[in-house]
Chains A and B, each alone.
Chain A
């Protein structure tokens, strides 16, 4: 079973920041938090990952709570092209990647 809990869907206005939450209360010390997204029926696309510290790249920011039991993916300026299903995954490096149900993000014009 997936080790994460995400809301099934969220809306965000175009140009605003999209904040996607994820609960992973049973995360182990060697497990990373990964985020992927799937646009329409394409193959999933990697977004970002982190272990303990907050991370930022050209696509998004990842905020991990100090106890590591939850995290938030932030898309700073959402566009229509960010409409997708976003998956939060916890697993060790190089281990099996188990997807949950994800959050369907709708960007509203």
Chain B
């Protein structure tokens, strides 16, 4: 039972490049989340998915797109990366009460 798995763990992008952060959970959870955490700050919600096929904007959605094609996977796409998107990205899943978080993707945009 792996829980929530994020790939990649580390990534360096050049300004303007695109990439997709992958997240998969094996707990059959309905809800999935993407957060970003800047140095010394708390987590900010980017997008949220209450169930397969549905997505909703969070606190800081600009510059990101998401896809929830099936119950297991929730991907986050940066179409044109900017230095302001340098951050640690966390994915989480939840059903009911407790949310489980992945170990994060450390993204640097130069």
Task: Give residues in A with beta carbon < 8 Å to B.
Answer: 32, 34, 36, 38, 41-46, 49, 85, 87, 93-94, 96-102
Interface SS of chain B:
strand
**What number of B residues sit within 8 Å (CB to CB) of A?**
29
Residue of A nearest to B33 (CB): A97
From B11-19, B62-70, B77-85, B90-98, give the one contacting chain A. B90-98
Cα–Cα distance between A43 and B104 once the two chains are bound (Å): 6
Q: Provide the residues of chain A in CB contact with B99, threshold 8 Å.
A: 36, 44, 46, 97
Task: Give residues in B with beta carbon < 8 Å to A.
Answer: 4, 30-31, 33, 35, 41-45, 48, 50, 56, 58-59, 88, 90, 92, 94-104
Closest chain A CB from B35 CB (angstroms): 8
Cross-chain contact B96 with A43 (CB below 8 angstroms): no
